[in-house]
């Protein structure tokens, strides 16, 4: 009987430790508040997609996205926003014109950290792939060479400006399936995307 009681005591101690660990993990899980949330549009001016190895850049005059943000408090950062459409206007004198097409939609906005001093939330946009086509040149910017859109770019949202910024550094984009392109793009080269989108309506996104 003494052995059984001792065994139960040890089991109880282990359960208590496990519960404590779970409680600690739950306490450190970051939640978010989004106001007003709902349907959004996002417009950007200069948008750049580059090959960092060759230095080649595709510059678009403007870009536009639309989608939705979750609304309320106590929200998880993963999938806090969904980007349903993404278009790019990249004028050029070349015929046929250069074209940049979004693939893998809807893209997913994820937030992971928040700076209370600056009011800036940081995270990623995932499920992203871009297809570039032009005269004698085509290529895809993706996370891997597979058919699944698995590109990720670093992103941040600033409450003071209402802008969602895609940062050149911090993503996993690479060029794949390069055809032609005269050495301006090469298979496996790192790719970067950068743009600053103004959200409409402006959002207040915080993490307590």
- The better pLDDT of the pair 81, 15 is held by 81
- pLDDT the model gives residue 91: 85
- pLDDT the model gives residue 83: 98
Query: Does residue 25 register a pLDDT over 80?
Result: no
Tokens matching residue 189: 């080269």
pLDDT 10s digits, 159-207:
999 999 999 999 999 999 999 999 999 999 999 999 999 999 999 999 9
Over residues 5-20, the mean pLDDT reads 38
Contact present, 35 and 52 (Cβ < 8 Å): no
Provide the strand spans (E) within the chain: 31-35, 38-44, 47-51, 57-60, 62-69, 72-76, 81-89, 99-103, 107-115, 120-134, 137-142, 151-158, 163-167, 174-180, 191-200, 204-206
- pLDDT the model gives residue 160: 98
Cα 31 to Cα 45: distance, rounded to the nearest angstrom: 31
pLDDT 10s digits, 42-58:
999 999 999 999 999 99
pLDDT band, residue 29 (cuts 50/70/90):
low
- pLDDT the model gives residue 95: 66
pLDDT band, residue 9 (cuts 50/70/90):
very low
């Amino acid at each position: 009987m003494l052995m059984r009681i001792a065994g139960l005591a040890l089991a109880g101690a282990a359960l208590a430790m496990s519960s404590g660990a779970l409680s600690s993990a739950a306490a450190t899980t970051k939640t978010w508040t989004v106001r007003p949330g709902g349907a959004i549009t996002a417009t950007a001016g200069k948008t750049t997609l580059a090959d960092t190895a060759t230095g080649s850049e595709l510059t678009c005059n403007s870009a536009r996205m639309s989608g939705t943000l979750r609304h309320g408090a106590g929200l998880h950062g993963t999938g806090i926003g969904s980007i349903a459409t993404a278009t790019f206007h990249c004028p050029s004198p070349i015929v046929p014109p250069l074209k940049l097409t979004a693939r893998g939609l809807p893209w997913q906005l994820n937030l992971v950290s928040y700076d209370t001093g600056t009011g800036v939330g940081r995270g990623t946009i995932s499920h992203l792939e871009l297809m570039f086509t032009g005269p004698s040149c085509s290529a895809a910017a993706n996370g891997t060479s597979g058919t699944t859109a698995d590109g990720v770019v670093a992103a941040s949202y600033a409450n003071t400006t209402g802008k969602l910024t895609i940062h050149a550094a911090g993503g996993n984009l690479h060029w794949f399936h390069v055809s032609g392109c005269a050495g301006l793009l090469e298979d496996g080269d790192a790719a970067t995307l950068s743009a600053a989108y103004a959200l409409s309506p402006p959002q207040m996104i915080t993490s307590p």
